[in-house]
Amino acid sequence: MNSSFELYYFISLTLLLSFVIFFFFRMIHRLKKKQLWAGCRNSTYMLLVLFILMTLSLVGTNLLTYHRLTHEAPIASLEIEQIQHQKYRVALISHETCKKRAYVLEGDEWQVDARIIKWHGWANLLGMDSHYQLDRISGRYHDIEQQRRHLPTVFTLESKSDYDLWSLKKKYQWLPWLDARYGQSVFLPMKVDQSYQLYMTQSGMIARKNNVLKTNCKIISSY
């Protein structure tokens, strides 16, 4: 299922709704002229098209819901290079800006935090996907005691903007459409010469290991 399905679906609903309105006014017109048989015939046509419209909307809405909830969009890629024991250079490539930035992290695992804004279900059906903002990248240790003995290596990934939905929702809780705002983290082991891919789904952020780095943009390095 792709965007063409959504386009045809909404066009079909619009056409069927137009037919319902047409037969409704035609039925009223016939009844005013006391043409009872013609009025009943038009009411039958209207009810038939209305039944098709309701059936199509129920089935289509269910399909659109399934499509939206399983939608995945790649948002960033990571490349790992070992410098020394428990010290790595992690290059993060943003798929939105096509910029590649490198960070020196200490530990056994990398961790990326993000802020996520989720829309209400009906807004999601209209094509409004969950929004995200990468917040920070850090290193972490497997062993908790070792983590306590070391200061974390943390770098910000947040880009400053005058228009921030996260802050607006925090300030104005009554805002419509916005369902929830929350923070989420994903972390995986730092393996030498390994690449990872971050994806945003309707339920949050996920990470997968890749053998081949996947990106559709021309990378601009910024170390």
Within 10 angstroms of residue 95's Cβ, the number of other Cβ atoms is 19
Q: Domain ranges in the chain?
A: 3-69, 73-221
* Reported confidence tier of residue 1, pLDDT bands at 50, 70, 90: very low
Q: Residue 149 in 3-state DSSP?
A: helix
Tokens in use for 41? Answer: 């015939």
Q: Residue 168 pLDDT more than 60?
A: no
Q: Residue 159 pLDDT more than 70?
A: no
Of 198, 209, 186, 211, nearest to 109 by C-alpha is 186
Q: What does pTM read for this prediction?
A: 0.62
Selection from 115-119, 123-127, 142-146 with the highest mean pLDDT: 142-146
Tokens in use for 57? Answer: 């909307």
From 18-27, 106-115, 158-167, 207-216, the region with the lowest mean pLDDT: 158-167
Measured between alpha carbons, how far is residue 64 from residues 13, 118, 202 in Å? Answer: 14, 17, 13
**CA angle centred on 145, ends 139 and 151, rounded to 5°:** 40
